[in-house]
C-alpha cells in the first residue's frame, strides 16, 4: 500500500482549489480550472490622464480572419479581454454587445480578445451571446502581455483606445452597463 503525504503548501493549494471562486480576489481560471494568475476586479473604470500609445496588436479572429488594432485607427476602440470559462464574462457579454450596438454609429469599434481558452468553447460563447464584433483568439495570452503599460490583469478586463491610438481607460472586472456606455460616449466625443 502506497501512502501519500501532503505538505503544508500542497494542502493550502488543495484547499484553494476546493474553494473555487469563493475568495474575494481569487478566480479559478483557464481551461480545466488551471491557474493563470489572474485576480478578480471590481469593474471600476479608470480614465488615464497620461495616455500612451496602444501596442501594435494583431492576430487571428475566432472565424480565422487577420485583424490588427491599427485597422481601427481614428475610431474609439474598446478591447475586452474575456474567456468562455469566466462567469463574470458571461454576465458582461450582453452589456458589451448592447453598448457596441448603441455606439458603433458614432465611430466606436469593439474587439474581443479571447484569452487562455479553447477555440470551440470560445466560438460557442460568441454564438450563444450573439456577439457581432470580432474577437481575436489569444489562447497563449500574448495580446494581454503586449499591454505592459496598462495591463489587463483580470478576466474580464476592458481597455479603451482613443481616436489617436492611445490607451485612454481601463476597467478591471465586469463593467456595468451605464459605466461602460458613459465612458465610451465620453471618449467618442473627444476631438
Does residue 153 carry a pLDDT above 60? yes
Residues ≥6 apart with Cβ < 8 Å to 96: 78, 80, 110, 112, 131, 133, 180
% of the chain surpassing 70 pLDDT = 76
Cα end-to-end span (Å), the chain: 73
Tell me the fold of 37-189.
Glutaredoxin (3.40.30)
Looking at residues 142-171, what average pLDDT do you find? 91
Distances (CA, A) of 147 to 3, 74, 77: 46, 19, 14
**pLDDT tens-place string over residues 102-139:** 999 999 999 999 999 999 999 999 999 999 999 999 99
Alpha-carbon distance of 67 to 135, in angstroms, equals 9
**Tens of pLDDT, residues 21-62:** 322 333 333 344 443 433 455 556 778 889 999 999 999 999
Domain boundaries, the chain: 37-189
Amino acid at each position: 500500500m502506497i501512502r501519500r503525504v501532503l505538505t503544508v503548501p500542497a494542502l493550502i493549494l488543495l484547499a484553494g482549489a476546493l474553494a473555487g471562486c469563493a475568495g474575494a480576489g481569487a478566480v479559478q481560471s483557464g481551461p480545466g480550472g488551471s491557474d493563470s494568475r489572474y485576480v478578480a476586479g471590481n469593474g471600476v473604470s479608470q480614465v488615464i490622464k497620461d495616455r500612451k500609445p496602444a501596442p501594435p496588436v494583431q492576430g487571428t479572429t475566432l472565424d480565422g480572419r487577420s485583424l490588427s488594432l491599427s485597422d481601427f485607427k481614428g475610431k474609439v476602440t474598446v478591447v475586452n479581454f474575456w474567456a468562455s470559462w469566466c462567469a463574470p464574462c458571461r454576465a458582461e457579454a450582453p452589456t458589451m454587445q448592447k453598448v457596441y450596438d448603441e455606439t458603433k454609429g458614432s465611430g466606436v469599434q469593439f474587439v474581443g480578445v479571447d484569452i487562455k481558452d479553447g477555440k470551440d468553447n470560445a466560438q460557442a460563447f460568441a454564438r450563444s451571446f450573439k456577439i457581432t464584433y470580432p474577437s481575436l483568439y489569444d489562447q497563449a495570452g500574448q495580446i494581454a502581455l503586449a499591454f505592459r503599460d496598462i495591463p489587463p490583469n483580470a478576466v474580464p478586463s476592458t481597455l479603451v483606445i482613443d481616436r489617436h491610438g492611445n490607451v485612454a481607460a481601463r476597467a478591471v472586472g465586469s463593467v456595468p452597463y451605464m459605466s461602460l456606455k458613459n465612458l465610451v460616449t465620453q471618449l467618442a466625443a473627444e476631438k
